[in-house]
Chains A and B, each alone.
Chain A
Amino acid sequence: MGDWKTITVPVLSSDSKNILPHTSERKRSPTSMNSQVLRLSLPSSKNMHSFFSAFCTEDNIEQSISYIDRELTTLGFPSIYAESKGKELNLIAIINCMNELLALQHKNLRAQEEVEMQHLKLGSDMDHLQNCYAKLKEQLELSKREIVGLQERDRQLQSKNRNLHQLLKNEKDEVQKLQNIISSRATQYNHDMKRKEREYNKLKERLHQLVMNKKDKKLAMEVLNYVGRADGKRGSWRTDKTEARNEEEMYKVLLSDYEQRQKQLLLENAELKKVLQQMKKDIISLLPPQKQKPKERSEDGLVLSDQEEDIGELNKENMWELSCETVREQLTNSIRKQWRMLKNHVEKLDNQVSRGHSGAFNEKDVISREDHELETEKLELEIQQCKEMIKTQQQLLQQQLTCDDDTTLLLQDCYLLEERERLQEEWRLFREQKKNFEKERKSFTEAAIRLGLERKAFEEDRGAWLKHQFLTMTADCKSENVTTPSAFLRSNVIDNVCLSGSDPDIRLVKPASRQRKPHLVLSPTVSPEPCQISQCITQNSVASEKPAADNMPNLWVESDDKEETE
């Protein structure tokens, strides 16, 4: 019943008569009204006319009015009838109702417009979203396909990889197999060769027998006459003596060869040592003297001792083979040290250069550095070669020494004993030094402890004395002030008295710490002397105005001053 028709109100300019039929048109059967519920579009005014006239005709005016009234009342509008129960229509109410209905209609139209707008918007949004969705779906499909393709490729590559690995393994296995085959064949061939050789030897033996059997007949040598030997000697019989002589000669040959080689090596060795020493001297001279002073002192000691030892050793070299080793080690060690110092020095120079000095200076440094580097390279090479030579010589010497068994054993024993004795002496010295060091250390610690104790005692004494001084001063001052509250000067005088009194007391107190009080107490009794002193003091001391009780340090100072003046 409450079906609203979306019918726009016709133009209000139409007269009221039209209104009635219009309103009468509104009363229509619900069914026909229902059929028009969904019609959103507005019928034309003509249609409206007919439409409106369809609802209310002249016949059913009353019914249509009552129907309209009913509708309105159900909708909440006031009744269009006049208040009395008659059939008079409240025109004002009707007009109001109409107005309200018009307003409602407006509202509804606006709402409808809005809804339509929204609908359109939503429709377009949906279209848009559907498009996007479609595109994304496509993209998804594409990427899925791509993934599938890539996965496929990956699988293929992996399978290829596996195949290659397999091939490699196969090749390796084959190689291994071939090697095994080779070795087994080699052993087989060796075995076969040995077998054939044995057969061959048997044949040879057989042949030999045959040949030896026939030897006497055919084998012969015809010589017209004997020929003298090339060196004119006669033939000799084969005896043991000759065998021994042969051995001897053989060993002589070998020995002479070794001796010759050893001589050569010794010469080389001596030359190399000379070269090394020369190098060492050069390196030392290359190093700047001022930098190496602290080091050089120790190094010099070592170096000089090295050189002296070297020179000494060189003279004895041929006789004392053992000392060669120690000399060699010392030489190489000292050269290494010098070398390291030289390297450090060169590095420092490099740093200096890189930090940047003037151009000319740089060049100079650069040139010298290059020279340095070349020299150092050369020296390094030489050192390497020398080291190798020395090693080989060492080996040879060892070989040489082990050749002659007897004498070398004895010699070795002697050398060992000598070395051992030397070592023992060194140990003894070392132990003595250690003991001395220990003693010194002990005495030092004792002295330190004593010193500490003394200092502590002294501090204690000082503290106690000061305290006592302070206390006595305050006590005296108080007592004096109480007795003579007179002129300030006088109290000062008395202070000075006290102070001066304290002077001799101080001197007396220092040695005898515990007897200050009685001395100080005695001071006022010694007044005549202090008076003179106080006069002197008043002339001098400025700080005498300050109460003594408060100024302990001043007390000290004053007492010092007094001591000085007196």
Chain B
Amino acid sequence: ASCMQHRLVVRDASSLQILQLYTCLDQIQYIEWSSDSLFILCAMYKRGIVQVWSLEQPDWHCKIDEGSAGLVASCWSPDGRHILNTTEFHLRITVWSLCTKSVSYIKYPKACQQGVAFTKDGRYMAVAERRDCKDFISIFVCNNWQLLRHFDTETQDLFGIEWAPNGCVLAAWDTCLEYKVLLYSLDGRLLSSYRAYEWPLGVKSIAWSPSSQFLAIGSFDEKVRILNHVTWKKITELDHPATISNKRTIVYKEVEKSPTVDRERLSFPPTRALASSLFSTQSKYDISQVPVSLQYIKPVADRANPKVGVGMLAFSADNCFLATKNDNIPNAVWIWDIRKLKLSVVLEQLCTIQYFQWDPCQPRLAVCTGSSRVYLWSPAGCIVVQVPGEGDFQIMSLSWHSSGDSMLLLSKDHFCVCYLEREEV
């Protein structure tokens, strides 16, 4: 599904054929599929309206109007039948039920980056709240939206919460002024609290490993600390130095190669194909010899939210690799082998890395840097894929298909689907 202005276009994933076309009342800011892929919600924040469309019955419609409460965020519940709307100024979260047309309210939600978290199996929802300058977490049962547990956290200013994939442990972390990660069990008990240091800026990003065995904490001091689920103590610290000197690490460097042009074939005015091929530079990966020094950017000292520290963390689906990005070295992706807790590969790109995501099935990483190329890495090697087409297609974000066969590449106003062929075994 994709939206354009106030139109919602639904296409088939394998053929990109338009299946449905819906029109909404206002410019759509956010769309989300329901978990059973039967409904799509379109949120229009300005108007404070959420419209839900059904795929099975194109005639069915639903409109939720928040009125003067305003709308800031909207999302589905895991069962696909409830919509959670966050009103303006985070006054409350309204739970609308599509089955019963009933409404529930959750008061005092917290205005933070990740304030609402659902467990993987969709049974429980954790909401971060703040009352009287104190942070609380409420755990609700998604079946009937009953409050299960309500407890306070020892954080200064809760920044985010995330469930472990096994649904039994909830990680909560504090704002970047305080390094504090708290781990709560499902019934609200504090299992452990972790604090690496006191004064410098703290946690920037957090990721659970798919087996819930490890919790990776990326912080502003350019290090990733991994805690284990048995003792909740740090088992290792992964450092991101600007110079890589370990002989075992493979460094792939993206190298531009200028295209060769046949002189005889030049014509004036140059044809389009020729022009594009002239100006679009090819690039490939080269293995650089260790020691390699990466491009290091010193951040501006007097700005808030500096571009320092480990900003992106992602575990591979098979729990074997961890991909990280150090914002100080914005052109490199660091891939760590979790079984050996060592740095195995560094991908050095030409431009700043915008986004990367692991394949949900295999240990395959797709990286995009804002150029018109998508980079794929797997333990077998890495390749550069050029998006064919005219002009620049600056890939800003990408998203894998859940089967791992195809990938969605998004630029500012275009998108394309990249299909990966499976090897016939």
Q: How far is the CA of A207 from the CA of B92 in the complex (A)?
A: 11
- Asked whether A230 lies within 8 Å of B168 as measured between CB atoms, the reply is no
- Contact between A218 and B89 (Cβ–Cβ < 8 Å)? no
**Chain B interface: which of A190-198, A412-420, A433-441?**
A190-198
* B168–A253 CB distance below 8 A: yes
Q: Does A360 contact B (CB under 8 A)?
A: no
The reply to whether A215 and B133 form a contact with Cβ atoms under 8 Å apart is no
Question: Which residues of B91-127 are within 8 A (CB) of A?
Answer: 91-92, 96-103, 123-124
Q: Is B62 in contact with chain A by the CB < 8 A criterion?
A: yes
Residues of chain B contacted by A198 (CB below 8 angstroms)? 133
Assess A227 versus B99: contact at CB under 8 Å? Given A221-B62, A253-B123, A254-B187.
Answer: yes
Complexed CA–CA distance, A320 and B187 (Å) = 30
Stretch with Cβ within 8 A of A (4 or more), from B64-72, B201-209, B400-408, B415-423: B64-72
**Which residues of the other chain, A, contact B64 by a CB distance below 8 angstroms?**
221
By the criterion CB–CB under 8 Å, are B133 and A247 in contact?
A: no
Rounded to whole Å, the gap between the CB of A268 and the closest CB of chain B is 11
Contact with A along B148-171 (1 / 0, CB 8 A): 100000001100000000111000
B199 contacts chain A at the CB level, 8 A cutoff: yes
**Most chain B CB inside 10 Å of its own CB: which residue of A201, A204, A227, A395:** A227
> CB-defined interface of A246-259 with B at 8 Å, one 1/0 digit per residue?
11011101100100
B230 lies within 8 A of chain A by Cβ: yes
Residues A182 and B199 in contact, CB atoms below 8 Å apart? yes
Cβ 8 A contact of B231, one of A193, A203, A250, A395: A395
Q: Is the CB of B89 within 8 A of A207?
A: yes
Is the C-beta of A398 less than 8 angstroms from some C-beta in chain B? no
Interface presence of A224 (CB below 8 A): yes
B185: CB under 8 A from chain A?
yes
Residues of B within 8 A of A197 (CB): 130, 133
* Binary A-proximity of B137-150 (CB < 8 A = 1, otherwise 0): 00001011010100
Query: Inside 8 A of A231's CB, which chain B residues have their CB?
Result: 79
A242→B143 CA distance, assembly (Å): 10
Closest to B133 in A: A194
Contact B133 A229 (CB under 8 A): no
Majority secondary structure, A binding face: helix
Contact B133 A238 (CB under 8 A): no
Contact with A along B241-276 (1 / 0, CB 8 A): 000000000000000000000000000000000000
Q: Is A512 an interface residue (CB 8 A)?
A: no
Contact partners of B124 in chain A: CB under 8 A: 250
A211 CA to B90 CA, complexed, in Å: 13
Closest to A198 in B: B133
Interface residue B382 (Cβ < 8 Å from any Cβ of A): no
CA distance A114 to B133 in the complex (A): 120
Given A221-B63, A392-B230, A204 contacting B81 (CB threshold 8 A): no
Tally B residues with Cβ within 8 Å of A: 51
Report how far A251 CA is from B66 CA in the complex, Å. Answer: 36
> B131 to nearest A CB, angstroms?
8
B-side contacts of A217, CB under 8 Å: 67
Residue in B98, B177, B185 whose CB lies within 8 Å of A223: B98
- Chain A, Cβ-Cβ closest to B178: A186
Does residue A219 face the partner (Cβ distance < 8 Å to B)?
A: yes
The CA-CA distance from A229 to B99 in the complex, in Å, is 6
Contact present for B67 and A218 (CB under 8 Å): yes
Q: B123 to chain A: which residues have CB within 8 Å?
A: 249, 253
Enumerate chain B residues within 8 angstroms of A219, measured Cβ to Cβ.
Answer: 65-67, 69
Smallest Cβ distance from A251 to chain B, in angstroms? 7
Q: Which residue of A lies closest to B188 (CB)?
A: A250
B352–chain A nearest beta-carbon distance, Å: 32
* A359 proximity list for chain B (CB < 8 A): none
Known contacts A226-B99, A230-B79, A253-B186; is-contact A238 B166 (Cβ 8 Å): no
Taking A215-B67, A392-B230 as contacts, is the C-beta distance between A229 and B91 under 8 angstroms?
A: no
Residues of A within 8 A of B186 (CB): 250, 253-254
Bound-state CA distance A228–B57 (Å) is 13
Chain A: interface size category: 35 or more
Interface: B302 (CB within 8 A): no
Q: Would B231 and A223 count as touching, CB distance under 8 A? A: no
On chain B, the residues within 8 Å of A238 by CB distance are 144, 146
Residues of A within 8 A of B130 (CB): 197
A480 to B100, CA, bound (A): 150
Once the chains bind, are A242 and B146 in contact (CB under 8 Å)?
A: yes
Asked whether any CB of chain A lies closer than 8 Å to the CB of B36, the reply is yes
For A197, the closest partner residue in chain B by CB is: B133
For residue A396, CB closer than 8 A to chain B, the reply is yes
Nearest-neighbour CB distance to chain A for B54, whole angstroms, equals: 8
Evaluate contact between B81 and A229: CB separation under 8 angstroms.
yes
For residue B80, CB closer than 8 A to chain A, the reply is: yes
A292 → B minimal CB distance (Å):
38
Query: For residue A203, which residues in chain B have a CB less than 8 angstroms away from its CB?
Result: 89
Contact yes or no, A204 B89, CB < 8 A:
yes
Contacting pair A214 B148 (CB below 8 A): no
Report the bound CA distance from A551 to B185 in whole Å: 106
Q: Are B68 and A222 in contact (CB under 8 A)?
A: no
B61 at the interface (CB under 8 A from A): yes
Of the candidates B101, B146, B156, B177, the one whose C-beta lies within 8 Å of that of A221 is: B101
Q: How far is the CA of A211 from the CA of B107 in the complex (A)?
A: 14
Residue from A201, A224, A230, A246 within 8 A of B62 (CB atoms): A224
CA distance A236 to B97 in the complex (A): 13
Provide the residues of chain B in CB contact with A75, threshold 8 Å: none
Complex-state Cα separation, A121 to B124, whole angstroms: 123
Neighbouring B residues of A254 by C-beta, 8 Å: 168, 185-187
Shortest beta-carbon distance from A40 to chain B in Å: 100
Residues in B with CB closer than 8 Å to A247 are 148
A251 touches B36 (CB 8 A): no
User: How far apart are B303's CB and chain A's nearest CB, in angstroms?
Assistant: 17
Closest A residue to B59 using CB positions:
A224
Query: Nearest Cβ distance between residue B386 and chain A, in whole angstroms?
Result: 42
Q: Is the CB of B68 within 8 A of A218?
A: yes
Instruction: Assess the B67–A250 pair: CB atoms within 8 A.
Output: no
> A431 interface residue, CB < 8 Å from B?
no
Residues of B within 8 A of A253 (CB): 123, 167-168, 186
A485 interface residue per 8 A CB criterion: no
Check A250/B60 contact, CB under 8 A, given A211-B67, A227-B98, A257-B166.
Answer: no
Asked whether B89 lies within 8 Å of A190 as measured between CB atoms, the reply is no
Of the listed residues B60, B80, B90, B168, the one surrounded by the most CB atoms of chain A closer than 10 A to its CB is B168
CB distance from A481 to the nearest CB of B (A): 108
Q: Nearest residue in A to B70 (C-beta to C-beta)?
A: A211
Q: How far is the CB of B99 from chain A (nearest CB, A)?
A: 5
Given A198-B133, A219-B67, A238-B144, A226 contacting B187 (CB threshold 8 A): no
Partner of A396, one of B63, B103, B168, B230: B230
B144 engages A242 (CB within 8 Å): yes
User: How distant is the Cα of A242 from the Cα of B146 in the complex, in angstroms?
Assistant: 9
Q: Which residues of B contact A226 (CB under 8 A)?
A: 98-101
Q: Is the CB of A211 within 8 A of B146?
A: no
A532 contacts partner chain B, Cβ-Cβ < 8 Å: no
Report whether A250 and B148 are in contact in the complex, using a CB–CB cutoff of 8 Å: yes
Contact call A243/B79, Cβ cutoff below 8 A = no
**Interface status of A274 (Cβ within 8 A of chain B):** no
- A220 on the interface (CB 8 Å rule)? yes
Contact across chains for B65 and A221 when beta carbons are under 8 A apart: yes
- Given the complex of chains A and B, what is the CA–CA distance between A222 and B148 in angstroms? 30
* 28 chain-A/chain-B pairs, Cβ below 8 angstroms: A179-B199, A198-B133, A203-B89, A204-B89, A204-B91, A208-B91, A211-B67, A211-B91, A218-B68, A222-B63, A222-B65, A224-B59, A228-B99, A230-B35, A235-B99, A238-B144, A238-B146, A246-B141, A246-B146, A247-B148, A250-B124, A250-B141, A250-B148, A253-B123, A254-B185, A257-B166, A257-B168, A392-B230
Q: Which 5 A-B pairs have the closest CB atoms?
A: A218-B67, A219-B67, A257-B168, A227-B98, A194-B133
Known pairs A223-B62, A227-B98; list 5 more (Cβ under 8 Å): A197-B130, A198-B133, A208-B91, A214-B68, A392-B230
Binding site for A on B (CB under 8 A): 35-36, 59-69, 79-81, 87, 89-92, 96-103, 123-124, 130, 132-133, 141, 143-144, 146, 148, 156-157, 166-168, 177, 185-187, 199, 230-231
